Amino acid sequence: MLYSAKVMEHFANPHNVGELKDANGVGEVGNQKCGDIMKMYIKVENGIITDVSFMTFGCGAAIATSSMATDLIKGQPITEALKLTNRAVVEALDGLPPVKVHCSVLAEQAIKAAIADYYRRQGIDPTPIVGDLGECEACAHESESCSCGE
């Protein structure tokens, strides 16, 4: 299994790692099949994600996708962060082996879960904004590359 230089860099030196003490949105997601667990913390001020961090228990690809995803949404409006797709994370990392694409799906889901938590804390129903945070939405279209077991 070959990883790009960017994946290796984000695995060896991940960005935005650790618990964010003053987070006002926290999301945790996991993949039962592979055992990866991602927890994302966001700090939102005036609709902008001013700070973000993560804690991931998982393989190198899970750590790299978490790191890259946090880089991609830091400083962005919530509306832009919600548009982040697992494909964009994979592209930013210069690709992932097909059996590791599910890690990027987890990163996307963790961000959405953190944003949903932020809205809940504001007394706003997140479902119309964030969507249903059920099982892996990508699997319906990418079953050959997603290994979440669906």
Non-local (6+) Cβ contacts of 59 within 8 A are 34, 36, 100, 103
Per the domain annotation, does 148 fall within a domain?
A: no
Per the domain annotation, does 9 fall within a domain?
A: yes
pLDDT category, 142, cuts 50, 70, 90?
Answer: very low
The partner residues of 30 in beta bridges, in order of sequence, read 37
pLDDT category, 143, cuts 50, 70, 90?
Answer: very low
Per the domain annotation, does 75 fall within a domain?
A: yes
Per the domain annotation, does 150 fall within a domain?
A: no
Name the pTM for this structure: 0.87
Per the domain annotation, does 149 fall within a domain?
A: no
| Spatial separation of the C-alpha atoms in residues 53 and 71, rounded to whole Å | 9
Strands 37-45 and 25-30: antiparallel
Per the domain annotation, does 41 fall within a domain?
A: yes
CA 69 to chain centre: 6
CATH of the domain at 24: 3.90.1010.10
The per-residue pLDDT of the chain, averaged, comes to 88
Per the domain annotation, does 94 fall within a domain?
A: yes
Number of domains the chain is built from:
1
Task: Please check the confidence at residue 6 and state whether its pLDDT lies above 70.
Answer: yes
Rounded mean pLDDT of 98-123? 94
Beta strands in 4-136 (DSSP E): 25-30, 37-45, 48-57
Where does residue 70 rank: exposed (0-12), middle (13-18), buried (19+ CB within 10 A)?
buried
Which residue numbers are catalytic? 34, 103
Per the domain annotation, does 129 fall within a domain?
A: yes
- Which residue range(s) make up the domain with 53? 5-142
Task: Please check the confidence at residue 147 and state whether its pLDDT lies above 70.
Answer: no
More confident of the two residues 78 and 1: 78
